[in-house]
Amino acid sequence: MVTWFTQLNGPLQWLFGAVGLIILLACLWAVITLLLLPVLALVQRLFAPAENSTSMSDTQYLTGTLTLPVADGHTGEVMITGGGRARQTYPAKLWATAPALAQGESVVVVEIRQGVAYVERLRTADANPHQ
């Protein structure tokens, strides 16, 4: 094959040489990528915990105000005003068995499931923790 290639003259020799060089570079790139991929995955795994935070800021919570009272077994209505969203209203139910919540009370939305917001009383830092 080397003899055949050396017998070629002119642009055909340059064309085959360029194609061979491209194939060689592609193979080299693939080998380097396969060797470096595990190293990059290890570096990401080592440094990822330093970049993550489990604390939430106040703007990440969905907060709202009850426009209709909510009691255990009864559906009320909440207007969501927090979390960077536009004001939206949802049917509201209590997240857990708790005393009824009055109209106008501030709540935190724990979950929205099938279009119903499950709410809990918003606890502030100055409130009594044993309520």
Instruction: Report yes or no on 107 lying in a domain.
Output: yes
> Looking at residue 44, what is its pLDDT?
83
Instruction: Report yes or no on 131 lying in a domain.
Output: no
> Looking at residue 131, what is its pLDDT?
47
Average predicted confidence (pLDDT) for the chain: 80
- pLDDT at 50 exceeding the cut of 90: no
Based on the fold, state whether residues 67 and 116 are members of the same structural domain. Answer: yes
Give the whole-angstrom CA distance, residue 125 versus residue 66: 20
Based on the fold, state whether residues 45 and 82 are members of the same structural domain. Answer: no
Please tell me which residue, 98 or 49, carries the higher pLDDT value: 98
Please tell me which residue, 98 or 24, carries the higher pLDDT value: 24
Give the whole-angstrom CA distance, residue 100 versus residue 110: 16
Domain with 102, as residue range(s), is: 58-121
Band (pLDDT 50/70/90 cuts) for residue 122 is confident
Based on the fold, state whether residues 42 and 62 are members of the same structural domain. Answer: no
What would the two tokens of residue 92 be?
A: 């509201």
User: What pTM does this model have?
Assistant: 0.50
Based on the fold, state whether residues 43 and 66 are members of the same structural domain. Answer: no
Instruction: Report yes or no on 101 lying in a domain.
Output: yes
Instruction: Find the CATH number of the domain harbouring 107.
Output: 2.40.50.140
Instruction: Report yes or no on 41 lying in a domain.
Output: yes
Residue pLDDT, tens place only, 73-85: 889 999 987 656 6
Instruction: Report yes or no on 75 lying in a domain.
Output: yes
Three-state DSSP class for residue 95: coil
What would the two tokens of residue 129 be?
A: 């923790």
Rounded average pLDDT over 23-42:
91
Q: Give the residue from 87, 13, 112 showing the smallest Cα distance to 79.
A: 87
